[in-house]
Structure 1
Amino acid sequence: MALLRSARFPAIVLLASALLALVLANSPLGPAIAGVKETYLGIPGVFEMSVGHWIQDGLLAIFFFLVAVELQYELTSGELNSARKALQPAIAAAGGVLVPIAVYLLFAAGSDAADGWPIPTATDIAFALGVLALFGKGLPAAIRIFLLALAILDDIVGIIFIAVLFTDGVNVGLLALAALALVVFGFLSRQLDSRARLPIIVILVVLAIVTWVLVYLSGVHATIAGVGLGLVMAQQPALRARHELEPWVNGIVLPLFAFSAAFVVIPAVSPAQLSPAFWGVLVALPVGKIVGIALAGWLSLRVGNRGAAPHLTFADLIAAGALGGIGFTVSLLLSELAFAGAPLVRDEATLGVLAGSAISIVLAVVLITLRARHYRRTSPASRDEELPPTETHPGQIA
């Protein structure tokens, strides 16, 4: 279990899952596996979804629960618990969202791919911190803290996009019932120290499932249920739940989602025939993120450190921007949602996410290695440091 809680291993598993999916989708086994993905499971005539949707809407809600627990912790007790702490990464995150959108629209504006503009805005915290752990020995803690805050703010933006942009025909009554279930869930989570601990845990699990079903049936994307549950749960029980669920999410949920989302057939067309969605995401992730985060981050250092030496240099910000270009998990989900009615465009956008993230990984490895070497050479005390530690901090999921 400790391995699945480390910063390194989950990133490797995610990458392996995506590569395996691409290989199998373009092999003779592809049609058979695609058939399994489209198989419907559930209670016939009452509640059924395809295997792919169970993964995307069901299992991924658990991942978003962990994301929300992390957000709650950082906003109340962690690196974003004050306006002063949040200012610099917030400005950098804004640049890391707006510039990739602008770059994407340079390719896709006016085409049927324009709806995919949210796709390159996400940062995959598991991959980013995994690369940092593997190649960032000797880097100062300020870089990791900055990146963590940046990725958390990106998560908030991604959650808002999912909740606002990909919601159709909301059933207000069912959504109100889901909100009521959330209130009861939050109240009961604060009674876990009583003698009736086991019955309360059982009721909480039932309430979580009921909330998910109500949100799904209301027309709001079901992963938002996980966000709500993570935000309203009492902090200490939520952190304990995160600790218990983290290995399962890292070892099963995210690899299954990566496999499902990356299971696309590579189109047998020339580059000129590829959708603008492919090119927009391919360029927006590595280029848009580096430019947006580096420039906005540089501005944030000028704003937040008047009269004081900034903790990060422009070279550090460029390296952080490359890490921010690793979109993966949330970008794959946004691709699925943005082009749900256009499978061919969706598949090409997915390929753009994978290719753009791969380019960002390569750039990040090179830049982080160079920065780490620089700090080890100029700061003898950093030579024995290793970032991040093998165990994730209380508010972080890998």
Structure 2
Amino acid sequence: MTLLRSARFPAIVLLVAAAIGLATANSPLGLGLEELKGTYLGIPGVFEMSISHWVQDGLLAVFFFVVAVELQFELTNGELNSARKALQPAIAAAGGVLVPIAVYLAFALGSPASGGWPIPTATDIAFALGVLAVFGKGLPSGIRIFLLALAILDDIVGIIFIAVLFTNDVNIGLLALAAVLVVVFGFLSRQLDGRAKLPIAIALVVLGAVTWGLVYESGVHATIAGVALGLAMAQRPALRTRHELEPWVNAIVLPLFAFSAASVAIPALSVSELSPAFWGVLVALPVGKIIGISVFGWISMRIGTGGAAPHLSFGDLLAAGALGGIGFTVSLLLSELAFADEAFVRDQATLGVLAGSVVSLLVAAVLVSWRAWHYRRRAVEEAVA
């Protein structure tokens, strides 16, 4: 379990799962895999979804619950618990959203692919922290804290995009009932420190499942249920639950989603025939994120410093920007949602996410290694002096 909680291992598992999914989809097994993903499971005539949707809407809701618990902690007791702490990463995060959108639209504006502009706005926190753990020995803690805050703010933006942009024909009654259950869930979670722990825990699981079902049926993307429940749960039991779920999310939920989302056939097209969705995402993730985060971050470091030197240099911000370009999990979900009815464009956007994230990963590995070497050398020089 310790291995599954480490920063390095989940990133490796995700990358391997995506590679296997892509290889399988482009092998003789590809057709069978596509049929398997389209197989419906559930109670016939009552509630059924394809295996692909169970992974995307069901399992991924657990991941978003874990993300929401971390977000709740950071907003109340962590690195985002005051406007002063949040200001600098918020400005950098704004650049890391706006510039990739602009880069994407430079390729796709006016084409059927223009609706994919949210795809390159996300940062995969597991991958980013994994690269930081592997290549960042010697880096000051301030860089990790800045990146964590940046990625969490990116997650907030991604959650807002999913909730607002990819919601159709909302059933207000079901959504209101789900909201009531979220309130009840939050109230019951605050009774977990009492005597009836087991019955309350069972009730919370049932409430969570029913809330998820209501949100799904309401027309709002079902992962939003995980977000709402994670934010509503009392912090102490929420952190305990997150601790218990984390290994399962890292070992099962995210690899299954990465395998499923990445299992797309590579189109037999010439470079000129590739969709603007592919080129937009491919360039926006590594280039847009680096430019947006580093430039806006440089500006943020000069706000409120009172003439003192900023705590992160421009080189540090370049490394953070490259890490921010590793979109992966949420970007894959956004590509699935943005082009749900256009499989051909969706597959190309997915390939753009994979390729753009790999490029960002490689660039980040180089930049993070360079910054880590810089700080280790400086530490040695200061020790000698």
**Equivalent residue, structure 1, for 2:337:** 337
1:6 matched to 2:20? The reply is no
Q: After superposition, give the CA deviation of every residue in 1:46-103 in whole Å (9 maximum; x if it has no partner).
A: 0000000000000000000000001100000000000000000000000000000000
**Equivalent residue, structure 2, for 1:259:** 259
Q: State how 1:24-103 maps to structure 2 within 5 Å.
A: 24-103=24-103
Amino acid at match of 1:182: V
TM superposition score normalised by structure 1: 0.95
Q: Structure 1's 276 and 81: CA in aligned 2 closer, same or farther, altered over 3 A? A: same
**Is contact 1:375-1:382 (8 Å) kept?**
no
SS in 1 for 2:42: strand
Q: State how 1:125-274 maps to structure 2 within 5 Å.
A: 125-274=125-274
**Unmatched 5+ stretches in structure 2:** none
Query: Which whole-Å CA distance do the structure 1 matches of 2:306 and 2:92 have between them?
Result: 17
Query: Which whole-Å CA distance do the structure 1 matches of 2:60 and 2:380 have between them?
Result: 43
**Is contact 1:87-1:304 (8 Å) kept?**
no
Aligned residue-pair number: 383
Amino acid at match of 1:100: P
Q: After superposition, give the CA deviation of every residue in 1:341-368 in whole Å (9 maximum; x if it has no partner).
A: 0000000000000000000000000000
Q: After superposition, give the CA deviation of every residue in 1:9-33 in whole Å (9 maximum; x if it has no partner).
A: 0000000000001111000011111
Q: State how 1:255-294 maps to structure 2 within 5 Å.
A: 255-294=255-294
SS in 1 for 2:28: coil
Cα displacement (A) at 1:210: 0.5
Instruction: Identify which range, 59-68 or 301-310, moves more after superposition.
Output: 301-310
Amino acid at match of 2:17: S
Query: Which whole-Å CA distance do the structure 1 matches of 2:38 and 2:94 have between them?
Result: 37
Cα displacement (A) at 1:380: 3.2
Cα displacement (A) at 1:381: 9.6
Cα displacement (A) at 1:250: 0.2
Q: Structure 1's 68 and 382: CA in aligned 2 closer, same or farther, altered over 3 A? A: farther
SS in 2 for 1:41: strand
Query: Which whole-Å CA distance do the structure 1 matches of 2:219 and 2:23 have between them?
Result: 34
Cα displacement (A) at 1:315: 0.5
Cα displacement (A) at 1:307: 1.9
Query: Which whole-Å CA distance do the structure 2 matches of 1:248 and 1:13 have between them?
Result: 12
Amino acid at match of 1:367: L
Q: Indicate the RMSD between aligned Cα atoms, in angstroms.
A: 1.0
Runs of 4+ that moved beyond 2 A: 380-383
**Is contact 1:139-1:375 (8 Å) kept?**
yes
Query: Which whole-Å CA distance do the structure 1 matches of 2:294 and 2:379 have between them?
Result: 23
Query: Which whole-Å CA distance do the structure 2 matches of 1:364 and 1:272 have between them?
Result: 29
SS in 1 for 2:302: helix
**Unmatched 5+ stretches in structure 1:** 384-398
1:22 matched to 2:29? The reply is no
**Is contact 1:100-1:284 (8 Å) kept?**
yes
Q: After superposition, give the CA deviation of every residue in 1:260-302 in whole Å (9 maximum; x if it has no partner).
A: 0000000000111000000000000000000000000000001
Query: Which whole-Å CA distance do the structure 2 matches of 1:225 and 1:296 have between them?
Result: 32
Q: Percent identity?
A: 77
Query: Which whole-Å CA distance do the structure 1 matches of 2:205 and 2:309 have between them?
Result: 49
Query: Which whole-Å CA distance do the structure 2 matches of 1:254 and 1:344 have between them?
Result: 24
SS in 2 for 1:221: coil
Query: Which whole-Å CA distance do the structure 2 matches of 1:146 and 1:194 have between them?
Result: 38
